[in-house]
Chains A and B, each alone.
Chain A
Amino acid sequence: MELLKDKKPISHYFIVTGLILLFSTLSFGVIGALQYVYAGLFRENFSFEKIRPLHVSSAVFWILITACGAVIFYLGKVKDGIWSSKLAKWQWILFTISVVAILISYIMGIFGGREYWEFHPIFALPIVIAWILFLINVLKTVKVFRKQPVYVWMWLTGTIFFLFTYAESYLWLIPYFRSNIVHDMTIQWKSYGSMVGCWNMLIYGSSIYLMDKIAGSEKYSYSSIAFALYFLGLFNLMFNWGHHIYTLPAPKYIQYISYGVSMTELLLLGRIIYFWKSSVDTAKRHYHILSYRFLLAADLWIFLTLILAIAMSIPAINIYTHGTHITVAHTMGATIGINTFLLLSLVCNIFNVHQPKTEKNITLGLNISLIALPIFWISLIIAGVLKSDWQMHHFNDIPFSAMMQSLHPYFVVFLIAGILLTIGFFIIVGSLLAVFFKKQINA
């Protein structure tokens, strides 16, 4: 608690915790990739069923905790301070204790066993309490709901809906919901699908605030187009989750609703293409160079990931991509290319990074990751295409192990690109942590 006695805002502690979790995400990611290439590595004590949740939960907590930190920081700027720093401090403490306990529980072999964000249900309790504290803080800080910019709407809806979807993801504890595997998986993917939309609301809201700040105008945040796109995003958050479960023998209307709703994302794609040039020109004029570079990188990955997401949302295409590494490529593209780049742009802005040496190091890290990420992504897509061919045509005549052996060269490329990506992000994380611990922040 000594650390909390200095004068840095509480939001910075969320961010530092998030950065440490990004470090942990990457480390466990590399070990997991090594296990794909060297079959049986650490089989006895540190096998893949431990590594995967260590990697996934670190990644989810990196996103969630940093997004909360960014919302607390920016909301404080918008509203002349957060309602209660004490409440935020307790939220941070609860989060930190829960994360440490969850990561230790995996090492001890205690799991929740759900796909994909899983831990023993007991740990859900402190996280819910922490989130309620966050919700109280956000609601009390916003106070008046009239004439708010779009990012405040996004923070509010993201915070409220997260609580609902998170609670929904634990309905399986009730016998009625767990007794039929198809129904259970339907509700599970409904909750997880929407949950991703919730943290995206927090991140995208903060990014819009930052873009306004870089552009030096709040015009966009109050515009009708901003609100139309926000409602479109919310509509997708609520109804497009069904594309995860097209192959489940669930009722057909889930397929139709999700397919129809997902196609509205084409409007988002159209907008990105249309506004691509103008957004670059506006941002270029300003000096938030690091945040700008990360935003630009995220812009490109939003474009690539959205194309893949829309294609995968068409049921007839989804049957070829489902259960293959194309789905992994989509997830990695979204979590690294979009969420991580956006969050890092927010962190650079919040930490007010302007020291030339730090700027140089972070730019180097970003450039390395920008080279590695497409290789990483394409290797997964090729592995996915080959697995898809096996699933559709050779399922009965070629054993699973032989198919996996044929993917080995692509897993090697995936591993090398993953290590390169990790080096790039380590440089960025290391530089940002140094800024925090050397007290170079001018908040």
Chain B
Amino acid sequence: MTDKVKVLTLIVLIVSFFSYTLFLYKENYSSNAEYGTMADKGKKLWQEKNCNSCHQIYGLGGYLGPDLTNVYSQRSEAFIKVFLQTGTNIMPAFNLNEEQMNQLMAYFKSIDSTGIASPAKLKPNYDGTIER
């Protein structure tokens, strides 16, 4: 393989990569947690408390606790708040105030509105792809 072929291959790959990258950046779906909203503040709180260490969203995150993508529609707000206030035998109580809990609720509501995370709801095709 000559240097010319190598450089040409590299250029093709780099151009394709950055085109794909820019296309993905532009493809921002309708926002459900605009900057500064309650949901956005809830997201910040989720990150500050490192909830991802134990919990998942869309199956991505830690494995010690359950996936919380659809917790808002599966449980009541009161139920979730009690968990947050008291903790569990594994999860510490995070001592959140009412406002912070409402922010987290808004975040859970915004995630929940994006779709169903359960992989059981996905349909596998014979060609190896999946349908939602």
Check B118–A395 contact: CB distance below 8 A.
Answer: yes
Q: Are A319 and B63 in contact (CB under 8 A)?
A: no
**Interface residue stretch chosen among B78-86, B98-106, B107-115:** B107-115
Distance in angstroms between the alpha carbons of A52 and B62 in the assembled complex: 9
Question: How many residues of chain A get a CB closer than 8 Å to chain B's CBs?
Answer: 75
- Do A234 and B49 have beta carbons less than 8 Å apart? no
Which listed residue, B30, B31, B49, B66, touches A400 by the CB 8 Å rule? B66
- A 196-240 contacts with B by CB, 8 A: 224, 227-228, 231, 234-235, 238-239
Across-interface contacts of B13 in A (CB, < 8 A) = 231, 234-235, 238
Residues A239 and B20 in contact in the complex (CB < 8 Å), given A53-B50, A113-B50, A392-B120: yes
Contact of A339 with B by CB under 8 A: no
| B47: nearest chain-A partner, CB-CB | A113
Which of A1-9, A63-71, A183-191, A415-423 sits within the interface? A183-191
- Which residues of the partner chain B approach A180 to less than 8 Å between Cβ atoms? 28-33, 114
11 chain-A/chain-B pairs, Cβ below 8 angstroms:
A43-B87, A48-B64, A112-B47, A186-B24, A238-B17, A238-B20, A244-B60, A245-B58, A254-B24, A323-B56, A400-B65
Interface residue? A270 (CB, 8 A): no
- Which residues in window 361-395 of A have CB below 8 A to B? 391-393, 395
- Decide if A113 touches B6 in the complex (CB within 8 Å): no
Given A147-B3, A179-B34, A182-B29, A35 and B64 touching (CB < 8 A)?
yes
In Å, the complex CA distance between A177 and B130 comes to: 26
A256 at the interface (CB under 8 A from B): yes
Q: How far apart are the CA atoms of A157 and B6 in the complex, in Å?
A: 13
Query: Is B9 touching A231 in the complex (CB atoms < 8 A)?
Result: yes
Task: Confirm or deny: A81 has a beta carbon within 8 angstroms of a beta carbon on chain B.
Answer: no
What are the interface flags for A312-334 relative to B under an 8 Å C-beta threshold, 1 for contact and 0 otherwise? 00111111101111001000000
**B31 contacts A314, CB within 8 Å?**
no
- Complex Cα–Cα for A112 and B47 (A): 6
Complex: how many Å from CA A47 to CA B117? 27
Look across to chain B and name the residue whose beta carbon is closest to the beta carbon of A251: B27
Which residues on A sit within 8 Å (CB–CB) of B21?
168, 190
Q: Measured between alpha carbons, how far is A431 from B47 in the docked complex, in Å?
A: 39
State whether B59 touches A49 (Cβ < 8 A): no
| Contacting residue for A115 out of B52, B89, B114, CB 8 A | B52
Interface presence of A36 (CB below 8 A): yes
Given the known interface contacts A115-B52, A179-B28, the answer about A316 and B128 at a Cβ–Cβ threshold of 8 Å is yes
Tell me, rounded to whole Å, the shortest Cβ–Cβ distance linking B96 to chain A.
14
Shortest CB–CB separation between residue B15 and chain A, in angstroms?
A: 11
Known: A39-B89, A246-B130, A323-B119. A227 touches B52 (CB 8 A): no
| Distance to closest chain A CB from B74 (angstroms) | 9
User: Taking A113-B46, A180-B28, A238-B16 as contacts, is the C-beta distance between A40 and B89 under 8 angstroms?
Assistant: yes
| Complex-state Cα separation, A306 to B122, whole angstroms | 25
Chain A residues lying within 8 Å of B90, measured Cβ to Cβ, are 35, 39-40, 43, 47-48
Q: What range describes how many residues of B lie at the interface?
A: 35 or more
Identify the interface centre among B49, B110, B114: most chain A CB within 10 Å of its CB: B114
Residue of A47, A53, A224, A247 with highest tally of chain B CB at under 10 A: A247
Residues of A within 8 A of B27 (CB): 183, 251
Contact A48 B57 (CB under 8 A): no
Cross-interface CB contact of A182 among B67, B92, B114, cutoff 8 Å: B114
B29 CB, min distance to chain A CBs, angstroms:
5
Contact assessment for B50 and A179 in the assembled complex, using a CB-CB cutoff below 8 Å: no
* Inter-subunit contact B120/A395 (CB<8 Å): yes
Of A113, A171, A189, A317, the residue contacting B49 (CB under 8 A) is: A113
Known: A181-B33, A323-B119, A395-B118. A114 touches B47 (CB 8 A): yes
Query: How long is the Cα–Cα vector from A393 to B57 in the complex, in angstroms?
Result: 19
A438 at the interface (CB under 8 A from B): no
Q: Are A315 and B129 in contact (CB under 8 A)?
A: yes
Which single residue of chain B is at the shortest CB-CB distance from A157? B10
Residue A178 at the chain B interface, CB threshold 8 Å:
yes
Given A181-B111, A244-B60, A255-B129, A49 and B50 contact (CB-CB distance below 8 Å): yes
Q: Does A359 contact B (CB under 8 A)?
A: no
Bound-state Cα–Cα, A153 to B7, Å: 11
Verify if B77 is at the interface (C-beta below 8 Å from A). Answer: no
Interchain CA distance A157-B92 in the complex, whole Å: 43
B97 on interface, CB distance cutoff 8 Å: no
| Residues A111 and B47 in contact in the complex (CB < 8 Å), given A176-B28, A315-B124 | yes
List 4 A-B pairs, minimum CB-CB distance, nearest first. Answer: A113-B47, A323-B59, A316-B124, A175-B35
A249 within 8 A of B: yes
Bound form: Cα–Cα A326–B13 in Å:
31
Q: Are A316 and B130 in touch, CB under 8 angstroms?
A: yes
Q: Which residue of chain B has its CB nearest to the CB of A194?
A: B17
Cα of A224 to Cα of B9 in the assembled complex, Å: 13
